[in-house]
Amino acid sequence: MSIVASIDTQRKLLLLALPMILSNITTPLLGMVDTAVIGHLEHPYYLGGIAVGSMIISILFWLSGFLRMSTTGVIAQAAGAKDVDKVWQYFFHSSMLALGIAGLLLIAKTPLINGILGAMEASDEVAQYAKVYFDIRIFSAPAALLNLVVLGYFVARQQVKWVVYQLFVINVINIALDIFLVVYLDWGVAGAATASVIADYCGLSMLVVVLLPQIKQVNWRELIRPKRMFFSKLLSLNKDIFIRSLALQACLGFVTITGAALGDVTVAANAILLNLFLFASYGLDGFAYAAESLVGEAKGQKNGQRLHQIVMISGLWSAIVGGLFALVLFFLGNAWVALLTDLTPVREYAREYLPWLIAICAIGWLTFLMDGVYVGLTRSKQMRDSMLLSCAVFFGVWFSAQQWQNHGLWLAFFCFITTRSLSLAIDYTLLYRRGELNSPSTFT
């Protein structure tokens, strides 16, 4: 690895990662405006309704995140191979998949929300306003899912500045419309949902305008003919990532549900600790996004040496960020917890479990890095199998250690993160030693 090549790779990595870190960190901060606006209405069930409704929407759209990951991987590889036609073929077919899934969500929206609310024990008022929010917000599905594909394209082509600009536009529009529709027009929950729908379509429109000059150079008469081969490859890739996402959601949901069963103080403390972990993940995800693009490009070029260099440098920076978060939590974790709650029992309980979070941050950087690497490699089966193995370890440890109650739960979560990290890291090491990083991809 030459010094010049190493410096150039680090520069490209940081230019991709830092804007994504910035956009990731600002998302939850700006998203608090929704809660603040609704939280000042007369009754608490308004806030409860929007919390439940937005949670359902968030899970549905988050589970569709495979559209972004798969698009990033295949387009980065096609771009690395300098196959412009395949770049746009994958973009077109991914877009069709996104619109198809959005159409299914719209068709099934009534039985979907009725079934979910029926399985919950929410009050009649909260359920009513959750349905109001969902019935409006679901109409942003075509924009939100198509936006995942467009974001995947921009990450793959290393044009992440547009991702940051779009996030800013969406949030500014959402904030302005929240205040106008909810406060001035008194639309309540319906106003908040409408604001989000309009903001989503405005954000997508902005990126489409940016794409137009690039699209004009393409021979669309040939490219817009659906081809079974592209759909087949994308469906196989997306299926594995979707299964991975379901398994991940099952484990995260189990932590919350089990914490609730252990008591109000436990679930509140766990929520604070998970939010701190989520905040740390925003920084680590920036390097994962960069790795997706750069690894995919190197894979398309069949340049195993450069690919390995990217993984090593990404690993170095991810380890630095993960270590910094662990150090911050070690020295300032108690103060951070105090900022998030003034309830003494919750503070004291959360502080008892901070060492688990510190340990998770110290190892968890590898989880995010390897996810990014394997998205770039489009090795979705390994991602799926790693997650299923980690999920099995999580539940196995929990049922063996549940007599330790919340300590047993955090031990299970630590083992879950560790298994995810090591299983993919070991698999990658074997790929490298066998010289398979130079092998051609099935997607180029």
Quick one: pLDDT at residue 54?
83
pLDDT in tens, 120-152: 767 788 889 889 999 999 999 999 999 999 999
The reported pTM is 0.90
| Residues in contact with 143: Cβ distance below 8 Å, sequence separation at least 6, in sequence order | 197, 200, 201, 203, 204
Q: How many CB atoms lie within 10 A of CB 261?
A: 10
- Mean pLDDT score, 300-312: 94
Whether residue 424 contacts residue 368, with contact meaning beta carbons closer than 8 Å, is answered with no
Residue at token pair 């130079």: 438
Which of 102-116, 276-290, 318-332, 367-381 comes out lowest in average pLDDT? 276-290
> Rounded distance, CA 289 to CA 152, Å?
10
Whether residue 56 contacts residue 49, with contact meaning beta carbons closer than 8 Å, is answered with no
pLDDT in tens, 377-417: 999 999 999 999 999 999 999 999 999 999 999 999 999 99
**What per-residue string of b and e applies to 207-227 under the rule 16 or more CB within 10 Å gives b?**
beebbeeeeeebeeeebeeee
Q: Is 25 exposed, middle or buried (0-12, 13-18, 19+ CB in 10 A)?
A: middle
What number of CA atoms fall less than 13 Å from residue 98's CA on the CB side?
28
Whether residue 379 contacts residue 444, with contact meaning beta carbons closer than 8 Å, is answered with no
Of 236, 230, 186, 189, the closest CA to residue 379 belongs to: 236
Whether residue 70 contacts residue 210, with contact meaning beta carbons closer than 8 Å, is answered with no
- Mean pLDDT score, 7-12: 86
Quick one: pLDDT at residue 433?
94
Q: Is 433 exposed, middle or buried (0-12, 13-18, 19+ CB in 10 A)?
A: exposed
Query: How far from 434 is each of 77, 304, 429, 438, CA to CA, in Å?
Result: 21, 11, 9, 10
pLDDT in tens, 172-190: 899 899 889 988 898 988 9
Quick one: pLDDT at residue 350?
92
**What per-residue string of b and e applies to 103-137 under the rule 16 or more CB within 10 Å gives b?**
eebeeebeebbeebbeeeebeeebbebbbbbbebb
Any idea where the domains of the chain sit in the sequence? 26-226, 237-444
Going by pLDDT thresholds of 50, 70 and 90, the confidence category of residue 207 is very high
Compute CA 163 distance to the chain's CA centroid, rounded to the nearest angstrom: 14
Of 193, 87, 109, 91, the closest CA to residue 147 belongs to: 91
> Rounded distance, CA 345 to CA 179, Å?
35
Q: Coil, helix or strand for 405? A: coil
26 compared with 37, residue with greater pLDDT:
37
Q: Does pLDDT of 29 surpass 60?
A: no
> Rounded distance, CA 295 to CA 312, Å?
11
Going by pLDDT thresholds of 50, 70 and 90, the confidence category of residue 34 is low
Residue at token pair 């972990």: 277
Of 67, 65, 61, the closest CA to residue 91 belongs to: 67
Whether residue 49 contacts residue 133, with contact meaning beta carbons closer than 8 Å, is answered with yes
